Structure 1
Amino acid sequence: MAQWVYSFGANGTDGDSSMRNLLGGKGSNLAEMSGIGLPVPPGFTITTEVCTYFYDNDHSYPDSLKKDVAAAIALIEAETGTLFADAENPLLVSVRSGARASMPGMMDTVLNLGLNDDTAAGLAARADDIRFAYDSYRRFIQMYADVVMDVDHGLFEDVLEDMKRARGIFDDTKLTGADLQELVGLYKTIVEEEAGTAFPQDPWEQLWGAVGAVFTSWMNTRAKTYRRLNNIPAAWGTAVNVQAMVFGNMGDDCATGVAFTRDPSTGENSFYGEFLINAQGEDVVAGIRTPLPLTTEARRKAGGDELSMQEAMPDVFNQLDAVRIRLEAHYCDMQDLEFTVQQGRLYMLQTRSGKRTAEAAIRMAVEMADEGLISKDEAICRVDPLALDQLLHPTLDPDAQKTLLTRGLPASPGAACGQIVLNADKAEEMASHGHQVILVRLETSPEDIHGMHAAAGILTARGGMTSHAAVVARGMGRPCVSGSGDLSFDEVSGKIFILGTELSEGDILTIDGSNGNVYLGEVATIQPRMSDAFATLMSWADQARRMRVRTNAETPADARVAVDFGAEGIGLCRTEHMFFDSDRIIAMREMIMAADTEGRETALAKLLPMQRQDFMSLFEIMAGLPVTIRLLDPPLHEFLPHSQDELAEVAKASGITLETARQRAIKLAESNPMLGHRGCRLAVTYPEICRMQARAIFEAVCAIAKKLGTAPIPEIMVPLAATAREIALCKVEIIAAADAVMAETGQKIDYLIGTMVELPRAAICAGELADEAEFFSFGTNDLTQTALGISRDDAGAFLHHYADAEIYPVDPFVSIDRDGVGALVRLGVENGKAARPDIKLGICGEHGGDPDSISFFEEVGLDYVSCSPFRVPAARLAAAQAHIRQKS
């Protein structure tokens, strides 16, 4: 029989950290901490397999589950000396989710479960503290009603705020026991009015209601969004963790907090975190109260007056510091800890590998390797390649003019500028139309996940350094300023107020998540400077990887950026992109719309010196590195004139009438231009085009050889070839041009001729193509389109539905479809090598910058990947990780 429930605690532990897939991250780590003797409240985990069963069987459970849970509850009772559902000595539990991949705040949690009118009175008598018991009860009602009964939590907050206002107090902790008893009554009335039923008094009913709610939350909107953004399969499911409650809200010798074993923003090896005295865990992360720093040093840096935990609770702090050191050494990684102090005793509620900024990840990886905690290969694999984007974009110019509005907490580093938006839906909508937005909220919640992802930056009035906004923003790489207490806003009118300054939605703000500053308007930026740790990590990555990394570039600016980021050549120069400028596009249109060879050659004569100069610039910047030049491949709809003014310009340049130009444009229009008269089909139909481009390339080679003393070796790529005959026809023109230029200049020119494999037939018949081609570059953008029959320009309307339905769990234009498109690439590699063993193999589609795709390209044995300039560092790191994993 399957084991559905695994217990943990001082009296025995069933699991450990190796069982992450079955117990989830939280459950496996609770078991591991219990197993190594840390003070963990006892509990049990309902496995992820139950979640799968739940969804496969109409939200029902395995037959033995209730019996297994009852037995696990009995083990908790035995260890704690309390009884579940007992009025005099009640056991209270928390019910939390725990997926194998961390999904902070995305699913539901219930605390203080087991309280009812009888057990609340019993808890008050046992603890001799009415205030504590009814503070716990009102929290439970609000959380359970929200999570399980779908009652708006804001209704409870409104009643709480009304009571505090009536009592003339600001802090929840100032409410008396009698106040909280009255509040419990008001909360139960809200439940009955909103849910149409009384708040459940049976703790067993409460428990199964909470378990069902956690499993159901695996498929809530915010969880699905988070999984889509982080490529987490829905099939993984979540575990449910039920654990004995310990209480940080029993008085001033109690506390709760969140800590990181190193600074998650900078990577500094110092204890980092926040705590609250006389509070429960949600108070810290929800931003309801402003938390205090753990260490005296952190308090001094923040300029705070209230005591740190190190000062207020020195003995417990020292215990926590010892746990920090032990856990980091045990897991060999920075840990994110949750803890509670109950009447002076420390309890550990969670450990997991902590979310961190890219800067922190790099510093930690390098320093941990230097400390001997991990190997260099482990350090390379510790950093998410895509997170490097956080380091490669501008930061605020320290010398720029700034108007400081207010300060908050530096929750997630980096700078962002954008229009103020006050809700997540609007942030997503505006961002989809190309606007940079700053999401401004009182505090963020998991429901804001889509807007946070869409926003350039996040600003909140409440919340600390470990609030939801801070943790999620750091994980996403979004700049965030939290806890900006001078900020207030009215979402209805679309106004925000900062120390007397009134702003409206749409006004511009700049935030600096590195120091917590908020500025009026747009602030100038500067390019980032890479840290020594970044240089060290990238040097290790370059030593570890097998595949080379090139860039896709056709402008000098892009080429220079790519070289600065470590590109080892150009893997794709899209020559048609060189003609979009206004001074060139007329000549390009004149060539496309020419009625005969003579007209085309006239226009091509204008284009040749432009092309020659472009290639010279690229050859000079690349200084001997390989440059792959794709011959003209323009989908005609991108170049044909559409407006009356554009037609008039072409008519004038061509010396034809406006009506002739219009008729010619109509004739050239295609129903499906992506599969139309483009690529090598142009060169086959109009060989003079291929001839001009080849001449421009070879003349540029000779000019640079004369200037630098070393001749570049261009790689000339024939696009969209489906047959060897198409390549052969183009080769005739290319070779003739090379011979002509060599005869004219007396210089020898070395070059390669290859093709871009972007059609299924090309992959299938790769052996035939390799008879003519000296290299293949897989154009996986078009290969994906032609293999799947999906237009990447139009697929946005439905692909997210395909992701939700797990048809294509990941957008196939972002990460390669291994089973379909990937199979074509693999076939092309095998057949190409069989025909030409020394064939050079690369990839130049957008997948060249995607780490998962790079891992696949390592598996099939490509020689290089090519990607956009800003993705070069990520590709270098991903290629190293792929090779390390392939070896192991």
Structure 2
Amino acid sequence: MAKWVLTFGDGKAEGSAEMRDLLGGKGANLAEMANIGLPVPPGFTITTEVCTHYYANGRSYPAELEAQVAAGLRHIEAVTARGFGDAENPLLVSVRSGSRASMPGMMDTILNLGLNDQTVEALAKNADDRRFAYDSYRRFIQMYSNVVLDLDHDLFEDLLETAKEKKGVTEDTELDVEDLAKLVKGYKAAVERDSGKPFPQDPAEQLWGAISAVFASWMNPRAITYRRLNQIPESWGTAVNVQAMVFGNMGETSATGVAFTRNPSTGENRLYGEFLVNAQGEDVVAGIRTPQPITEAARAEGKVRAPSLETRMPEAFKEFAIVANRLEQHYRDMQDLEFTVERGKLWMLQARNGKRTAKAALKIAVDLVNEGVLTKEEAIERIDPASLDQLLHPTIDPKAERKIIASGLPASPGAAQGEIVFSSEAAEEAVAGKEGKKVILVRTETSPEDIHGMHVAAGILTTRGGMTSHAAVVARGMGKPCVSGAGSLRIDEKAGTLTVGGKVFRAGDVLTIDGSAGQVLDGAVAMIKPELSGDFAALMGWADEVRRMKVRANAETPADARAARGFGAEGIGLSRTEHMFFDDERIVAVREMILADDVEGRRKALAKLLPFQRSDFRELFEIMKGLPVTIRLLDPPLHEFLPHGDKEVAAVAEAMGADPDKLRSRAAELHEFNPMLGFRGCRLAIAFPEIAEMQARAIFEAAVEAAKATGEPVTCEVMVPLVVGRADFDFVKARIDAVAKAVEAETSGTLVYQVGTMIELPRAALMAAEIAETAEFFSFGTNDLTQTALGISRDDAAPFLSHYVDKKLLPYDPFVTIDREGVGELVAIGCERGRSVRPKIKLGICGEHGGDPASIAFCEEVGLDYVSCSPFRVPIARLAAAQATLRARKALRTQDAA
């Protein structure tokens, strides 16, 4: 017979901490606490497998479950010497959820179950104060009716407030037993009126109603949202924990509280928590009453008048402090604890690894290593790489008031505030010559031509776009906060207004954006500057000792390159040369080049660009000082550079000495229906070889100059974009090699360089063996490889891609985390076939996936040599790469052992 129910309590348990998948986090930890002899109220856990069965079988239970639940109840009755439903000595229980991953507040809980019109009297007779019994009964009716019977919580709150008004009191505790008995009667009448049935009096009916409600809450909207945001699989399910009630609301010698073994905000090594006298746990969580500090030191620091638990209940506090330390040592991590003191006796209700800020996580991990509790490798594994974003950007002060006016997607972390501007030109104009002035660039959506405005803005806000839209990708690369897809905002560029919820904001009004939470706030809000502490440096150093893959950065500006080096980048894995052309002085020359109708005209325009490119590349080489720098040849869809308005056409016409009408006609000829698959990448160099030749000359001349200036050899990698096979790669490579020879002859120097390609088309991945015959490195451009493999435009995916994820047609957004089965398979094929011809070919990734921890794990599995990501994601990639190496080592050890 399958075992669906496991018991715990009285110093033993049928489960343990290792059975988290089966018992859920709460059930596993209750079992573990019981096994190590801590004071845990007895109970039983209905396993997560029942939840799976429940949803797979039309919300029905296994045939054996009813008998096993009855046996579990008998276990609790035996330990407590109470009877479930007994009219003289009743057993009351709590019914709580418990997923294997902590989901605080997302699912449902019911306390005081087993109370009815008979057992409430028995409870009252055994209490020091009869009010305790009727207060517990009215709480139970309210909670059960809301969770199980789906009645509005406010219905009961209104009755409670009315009772307090009649009595002329403000606190629940000031109601006497008669008031509470009347309130219970009113609650039951309201239940019967609104549900059409009397409040259930049978404890068994109550119990099964509660169990079903907890399983049903696994699929409530808030739980679904929480799982999606935290990547918790629906298939895990939840367990249900049924446990004997202990009461913190039995008078002045009883209390309930929540504590952490270390400060979850700072990581400081001392008890941190709050408690309430004569209260149930829900009172602490709900904030109905102001809790008091647990320790005397915290009470004194906070200048709280009410006594601490340490002072008020010294024996219970002393025992709790010992238990807290024992649990931290046992689990080897900071613990989040819930406890109750019933008439002076301590009971432990929960222990779990506590949630903490990134700052606290680093301090706790480093401290535990220094205390000899953890190894360095274990500390590396404890930190969520994505959480490091909290440390790299300014954030909103947690104490500050948030006047949220709109929400969008958390496209790029950090917070920023400034005056609203509606165009890149307005952004530049606003900050020009005004030191310290901040602006927020507000756009429907951004395009590459907004690069100059994005550069000077403190933050970017768009009403359209997803996590991988242009605004999101560029903002992350720049390390600027961005909120994208804030669809409730309405922009009227002509009127210069932003409207939301009936309120109108104008250019110059101040907004704050929180790119970590995806929120838009009214006005200026207090901020906290990032601090990269010694703990950060220590953990990053340990990660660097462990990881196999190198970590490079995507960078094309000196500021990006310096930031990348500061964050520990080991070179540049992608320098997008088209991003260097959007300054006013350069854009006209680029447009001249594109619109020229002969080679001579193009070469004339390219001659203007050569000094700019050479200077840019030299600065990058000097900043990197001998580290590898991969420069991608020009790869924009041409429409991004074409002049659009009369003013832009006139500027190009004047520079070229050409007829504006002729230029408009030429621009029309270059119009494309699908530019992302159009005239871009190596196709530009094939049609106009002089473009690749100019860029190659700029690269090689810059390399010679930088080597002389720094005394360090320049490691230069030239990347040909968007090839479909060896033929087009070889065509461009020949031009690059020819220029290299010319520059060597002119400078009497020797260039050290490699020519490789970006694998960003499915055919290129399949043809990798052939391409590798002449290509010296591959960099997988997984942004475009995802677009072309899935046939999805990244910039147009937001309206429908979320439906794919929500309806589980795709496990996650493939532009955020690499699609292992499709795109990942193409990468694996490209690696395998490339190595078959050139065993030591250098392999990297430079798409957005290069900064995603899950994608980095995949990169380790296929054996890439490096990942490249935006500068502000370099620390995330360093830690994720170390974790991936550790996982690979464990897998190898397991394989060897097998």
Q: Does 1:289 align with 2:289?
A: yes
Cα gap change, 1:217/1:292 in structure 2, threshold over 3 Å: closer, same or farther?
Answer: same
Separation of aligned partners in 1, 2:673 and 2:11: 73
Give secondary structure in 2 for the equivalent of 1:819. helix
Higher mean C-alpha displacement, 111-120 vs 240-249: 111-120
Deviation at 1:127, TM superposition (A): 2.0
Give secondary structure in 2 for the equivalent of 1:815. coil
**Match for residue 460 of structure 1?**
none
Give secondary structure in 1 for the equivalent of 2:811. coil
Give secondary structure in 2 for the equivalent of 1:273. strand
- Equivalent residues in 2 for 1:278-677, closer than 5 Å: 278-394=278-394, 414=397, 420-421=403-404, 427-428=406-407, 522=524, 527-677=529-679
Give secondary structure in 2 for the equivalent of 1:798. helix
Cα gap change, 1:128/1:268 in structure 2, threshold over 3 Å: closer, same or farther?
Answer: closer
**Match for residue 678 of structure 1?**
680
Deviation at 1:198, TM superposition (A): 2.5
Which amino acid in 2 is paired with 1:690? Answer: A
**Match for residue 749 of structure 1?**
751
Q: Kindly indicate whether the alpha-carbon contact (under 8 Å) linking 1:418 and 1:437 is maintained by their aligned counterparts in 2.
A: no
Give deviations 1:138-193, integer Å, cap 9, x for gaps.
Answer: 11111111111221212222332333334333322222222221222222233233
TM-score calculated relative to the size of structure 2: 0.86
Deviation at 1:614, TM superposition (A): 0.9
**Match for residue 190 of structure 1?**
190
Separation of aligned partners in 2, 1:536 and 1:144: 50
**Match for residue 771 of structure 2?**
769
Separation of aligned partners in 2, 1:560 and 1:149: 60
Which amino acid in 2 is paired with 1:541? Answer: A
Give secondary structure in 2 for the equivalent of 1:609. helix
Deviation at 1:510, TM superposition (A): 11
Give deviations 1:323-348, integer Å, cap 9, x for gaps.
Answer: 01111111111111111111111111
Separation of aligned partners in 2, 1:187 and 1:171: 18
Which amino acid in 2 is paired with 1:266? Answer: T
**Match for residue 135 of structure 1?**
135
Deviation at 1:669, TM superposition (A): 1.8
Separation of aligned partners in 1, 2:565 and 2:408: 36
Deviation at 1:416, TM superposition (A): 8.9
Separation of aligned partners in 1, 2:223 and 2:694: 55
Separation of aligned partners in 1, 2:149 and 2:408: 30
Which amino acid in 2 is paired with 1:75? Answer: H
**Root mean square deviation of aligned Cα:** 2.5
Report percent identity of matched pairs: 63
Give deviations 1:107-147, integer Å, cap 9, x for gaps.
Answer: 11111111122222221122253211111111111111111
Separation of aligned partners in 2, 1:215 and 1:70: 18
Which amino acid in 2 is paired with 1:226? Answer: Y
Higher mean C-alpha displacement, 10-19 vs 535-544: 10-19
**Match for residue 15 of structure 2?**
15
**Match for residue 407 of structure 1?**
none
**Match for residue 798 of structure 1?**
800
Separation of aligned partners in 1, 2:527 and 2:344: 49
- Equivalent residues in 2 for 1:865-880, closer than 5 Å: 865-880=867-882
Deviation at 1:33, TM superposition (A): 0.7
1:692 to 687, 691, 694: 694
**Match for residue 840 of structure 1?**
842
Give deviations 1:532-564, integer Å, cap 9, x for gaps.
Answer: 111111111111111111100111111111111
Cα gap change, 1:802/1:417 in structure 2, threshold over 3 Å: closer, same or farther?
Answer: farther
Q: Does 1:83 align with 2:62?
A: no
Deviation at 1:610, TM superposition (A): 1.3
Deviation at 1:737, TM superposition (A): 1.1
Give secondary structure in 1 for the equivalent of 2:630. strand
Q: Kindly indicate whether the alpha-carbon contact (under 8 Å) linking 1:554 and 1:578 is maintained by their aligned counterparts in 2.
A: yes
Which amino acid in 2 is paired with 1:354? Answer: G
**Match for residue 863 of structure 2?**
861
Separation of aligned partners in 2, 1:2 and 1:417: 53
**Match for residue 780 of structure 2?**
778
- Equivalent residues in 2 for 1:250-289, closer than 5 Å: 250-289=250-289
Give deviations 1:543-601, integer Å, cap 9, x for gaps.
Answer: 11111111001111111111111111100001111122333222222222222222222
Separation of aligned partners in 2, 1:816 and 1:291: 46
Separation of aligned partners in 2, 1:74 and 1:849: 53
Cα gap change, 1:173/1:417 in structure 2, threshold over 3 Å: closer, same or farther?
Answer: closer
Q: Kindly indicate whether the alpha-carbon contact (under 8 Å) linking 1:849 and 1:871 is maintained by their aligned counterparts in 2.
A: yes
Which amino acid in 2 is paired with 1:324? Answer: A
Give deviations 1:32-59, integer Å, cap 9, x for gaps.
Answer: 1111111111111111111111111111
Give deviations 1:243-277, integer Å, cap 9, x for gaps.
Answer: 11111111111111111111111111101111111
Q: Kindly indicate whether the alpha-carbon contact (under 8 Å) linking 2:12 and 2:37 is maintained by their aligned counterparts in 1.
A: no
TM-score calculated relative to the size of structure 1: 0.87
Deviation at 1:627, TM superposition (A): 0.5
Separation of aligned partners in 1, 2:510 and 2:753: 55
Separation of aligned partners in 2, 1:147 and 1:524: 38
Separation of aligned partners in 2, 1:647 and 1:855: 48
**Match for residue 725 of structure 1?**
727
Cα gap change, 1:507/1:829 in structure 2, threshold over 3 Å: closer, same or farther?
Answer: closer
Q: Kindly indicate whether the alpha-carbon contact (under 8 Å) linking 2:87 and 2:118 is maintained by their aligned counterparts in 1.
A: yes
Which amino acid in 1 is paired with 2:407? Answer: E
Separation of aligned partners in 2, 1:436 and 1:161: 40
Cα gap change, 1:417/1:31 in structure 2, threshold over 3 Å: closer, same or farther?
Answer: closer
Separation of aligned partners in 2, 1:53 and 1:145: 26
Q: Kindly indicate whether the alpha-carbon contact (under 8 Å) linking 2:11 and 2:38 is maintained by their aligned counterparts in 1.
A: no
Deviation at 1:433, TM superposition (A): 13
Q: Kindly indicate whether the alpha-carbon contact (under 8 Å) linking 1:41 and 1:246 is maintained by their aligned counterparts in 2.
A: yes
Cα gap change, 1:586/1:419 in structure 2, threshold over 3 Å: closer, same or farther?
Answer: farther
Separation of aligned partners in 2, 1:599 and 1:189: 89
- Equivalent residues in 2 for 1:198-237, closer than 5 Å: 198-237=198-237
Which amino acid in 1 is paired with 2:674? Answer: N
Deviation at 1:521, TM superposition (A): 5.3
Give secondary structure in 1 for the equivalent of 2:736. helix
Deviation at 1:437, TM superposition (A): 10
**Match for residue 451 of structure 1?**
none
Separation of aligned partners in 1, 2:242 and 2:351: 16
- Equivalent residues in 2 for 1:3-42, closer than 5 Å: 3-10=3-10, 12-42=12-42
Separation of aligned partners in 1, 2:4 and 2:153: 32
Q: Kindly indicate whether the alpha-carbon contact (under 8 Å) linking 1:647 and 1:658 is maintained by their aligned counterparts in 2.
A: yes
Cα gap change, 1:435/1:619 in structure 2, threshold over 3 Å: closer, same or farther?
Answer: closer
Give deviations 1:353-390, integer Å, cap 9, x for gaps.
Answer: 11011111111111111111111100111111111111
Which amino acid in 2 is paired with 1:695? Answer: R
Give secondary structure in 2 for the equivalent of 1:117. coil
Report the count of equivalent residues: 800
Which amino acid in 1 is paired with 2:591? Answer: R
**Match for residue 516 of structure 1?**
none
Give secondary structure in 2 for the equivalent of 1:755. strand
Deviation at 1:655, TM superposition (A): 2.9
Deviation at 1:436, TM superposition (A): 7.0
Cα gap change, 1:255/1:563 in structure 2, threshold over 3 Å: closer, same or farther?
Answer: same
Give secondary structure in 1 for the equivalent of 2:739. helix
Cα gap change, 1:509/1:597 in structure 2, threshold over 3 Å: closer, same or farther?
Answer: closer
Deviation at 1:672, TM superposition (A): 1.5
Q: Kindly indicate whether the alpha-carbon contact (under 8 Å) linking 1:233 and 1:809 is maintained by their aligned counterparts in 2.
A: no
Give secondary structure in 1 for the equivalent of 2:321. helix
Q: Kindly indicate whether the alpha-carbon contact (under 8 Å) linking 2:642 and 2:667 is maintained by their aligned counterparts in 1.
A: yes
Deviation at 1:619, TM superposition (A): 0.9
Separation of aligned partners in 2, 1:771 and 1:844: 22
Cα gap change, 1:792/1:123 in structure 2, threshold over 3 Å: closer, same or farther?
Answer: same
Q: Which runs of 5+ in 1 are unaligned?
A: 397-413, 439-455, 457-477, 479-492, 496-505, 514-518
Cα gap change, 1:670/1:115 in structure 2, threshold over 3 Å: closer, same or farther?
Answer: same
Which amino acid in 1 is paired with 2:832? Answer: E
Give deviations 1:277-324, integer Å, cap 9, x for gaps.
Answer: 111111111111111111011111111111010011110001100101
Deviation at 1:826, TM superposition (A): 1.2
Which amino acid in 2 is paired with 1:667? Answer: E
Separation of aligned partners in 2, 1:71 and 1:434: 51
